[in-house]
Every structure is written in C-alpha cells, then in structure tokens.
A = this chain, B = another copy of it.
Amino acid sequence: MANAGLLDQLKFDEKGLIPLIVQDVENGQVLMMAFMNREALEKTLDTGKIHTFSRSRGRLALKGESSRHFQHVKQIMTDCDHDVVLIKVVQDVAACHEGYRSCFFNEYDTDAAEWKTVAERQFDPEKVYSK
C-alpha cells in the first residue's frame, strides 16, 4: 500500500498505540494530545482528517465526529525515535470538548499554587453536544 513507508517506520507500543500531538499549523498552538493505533493513522491518511484511538471508548474515533469541529492534516512529523507523531492541522472552530480552542487552557500559577484557566471559550459545549 502507498503509505507502508510511513507506517512501517513508526514504533507502536505494546498496546499497538503511538502518542499523537496535534498542533495548529497557523499559530503553533498545541491543541491536544491523543493516541493512534495503526488503523487511526491509516484513516487519517486516507481522509486528511485526524482520527484517534479513543482509549476510554476502546475504538477508532474521528476527531470532531460529534461537534463537527474537524482537524485537517497539513504536515506529518515524527521524532528521532519514531515513537511519537506530531501532526500540524487547520482546526475547525476549536479542539477541546470543553469549548476551548486548545485542550491546554489551564496554566499553573506558581504564586497561588493552583491551576487557572487562561483561555476564552470558543463555543458552548452544552449547545454543541446536545444537537
């Protein structure tokens, strides 16, 4: 198959998974981290939209399947050990199911010794997920 060169050179762990970092190609913001199995990577390549292996649901998941906020693949990278995938995307609306552009919306405030929300919601999760 056409993408054997990509898949065969990646190292999946003992569960058949590889960590995925998704980054906004436009501004460099890290949007989320997830895991892929081989099938998720193949579907991502075939469709141009990020697919992950959802460990909580135990199945392949199209990112944005409920919200319709898809992630469109622009660049696929791997690291020195070929055991992490970094994909740069164009993000529709927002990545986080809590309504934020990025899942990384909590910053540690060292003075207060607590996590603080440092982003604005882009959508109302109750409206989007109740459709």
Contacts and interface: CB of A to CB of B under 8 A. Distances in A.
A122 B124 CA distance: 45
A32 interface: yes
Given A4-B113, A113-B3, A82 B106 contact: yes
A21 B33 CA distance: 9
Chain copies in the assembly?
A: 2
B113 A5 contact: yes
Interface size class of A (residues with CB under 8 A): 35 or more
A129 B77 CA distance: 26
Nearest to A33: B84
A98 B80 CA distance: 7
Contacts of A4: 113
Given A28-B27, A28-B28, A28-B29, A108 B21 contact: no
Given A30-B21, A113-B4, A115-B9, A105 B80 contact: yes
Interface of A: 2-6, 9, 19, 21, 23, 27-30, 32-33, 75-82, 84, 86, 96-98, 100, 103-108, 110, 112-115, 118
